[in-house]
Every structure is written in C-alpha cells, then in structure tokens.
C-alpha cells in the first residue's frame, strides 16, 4: 500500500461544477469529500448518517427548520442524522465533507442533483 499526501487545493482545481462532491480519501467506512458549491440545494435529511461540513473558502449557509447558520472558512458544522437541512451559498464556496460511505448527497430527496456514484479524484 502506497501512502501519499493530498494537496486539497490541487484537487479543487480539477472540479468544474457545483454540488458535485468528489472523494479524496476514505477511512474507517467514512468518505472524505470535497465540493464547490454555489446557489441553492434541496432541503433533505439522512435517515442513518451524520454529516460534517467544513468550509475551506467562501461562505456556506445551513438552513435548518428553526434557524440558518453561517459557516465561514475554518468553521464546520455537524448535522446529525434525521435533521432536515439545506446548504446553500451566494458565492463560490469550497467545502470538505466527512460522512459514511452510504451517504447520498440529497438524502431522502432524490432529484436531478442526486449523485448516485461519486468520482474519486
């Protein structure tokens, strides 16, 4: 097994679309993903998985049922399983996600933004 370091900024340069997470690493049944996001996403929840959103660059809003959080670079938020949430951003934002391999990006709400198979970069 070859162990290599990962340059996250280099990985972001290969992403040309929004809301299309890419796998950059895996550990203990968890996926480490990155994505560029801008605009609206769908309100959804995950029945069995928690999600962690870490903002690298930009500004991410996380709409919940009773509040909206602003997540700035260097900040993160964990969304527990079963909690309805809707991420969105008004500017291009680079995020890192930590979530179980079984996590579908749109959770219980399948639509044109759903990514069944993720690319590893």
Number of domains in the chain: 1
Q: 60: which strand partners?
A: 71
Cα distance between residue 22 and residue 11, in whole Å: 9
113 occurs within a structural domain: no
* Segment of 33-47, 56-70, 99-113 carrying the highest mean pLDDT: 56-70
13 occurs within a structural domain: no
Indicate which CATH number applies to the domain containing 59: 2.60.120.10
61 occurs within a structural domain: yes
107 occurs within a structural domain: no
Q: What is the pLDDT, as a whole number, of residue 84? A: 95
96 occurs within a structural domain: yes
Range of the domain at 91: 22-100
Number of H helices, E strands in the chain: 1, 7
116 occurs within a structural domain: no
Residues 76-117: pLDDT tens digits?
999 999 999 999 999 999 999 998 877 766 566 676 666 667
Q: What is the pLDDT, as a whole number, of residue 109? A: 61
117 occurs within a structural domain: no
119 occurs within a structural domain: no
């Amino acid at each position: 097994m070859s162990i290599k370091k990962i340059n996250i900024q280099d990985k972001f340069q290969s992403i040309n679309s929004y809301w299309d997470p890419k796998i950059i690493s895996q550990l203990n049944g968890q996926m480490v993903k990155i994505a560029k996001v801008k605009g609206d996403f769908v309100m959804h929840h995950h029945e069995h998985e928690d999600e962690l959103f870490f903002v690298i660059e930009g500004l991410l809003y996380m709409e919940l049922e009773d509040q909206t959080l602003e997540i700035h670079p260097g900040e993160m938020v964990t969304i527990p399983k079963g909690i309805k949430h809707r991420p969105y951003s008004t500017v291009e934002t680079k995020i890192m996600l930590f979530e179980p391999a079984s996590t579908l990006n749109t959770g219980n709400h399948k639509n044109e933004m759903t990514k069944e198979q993720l690319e590893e970069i």
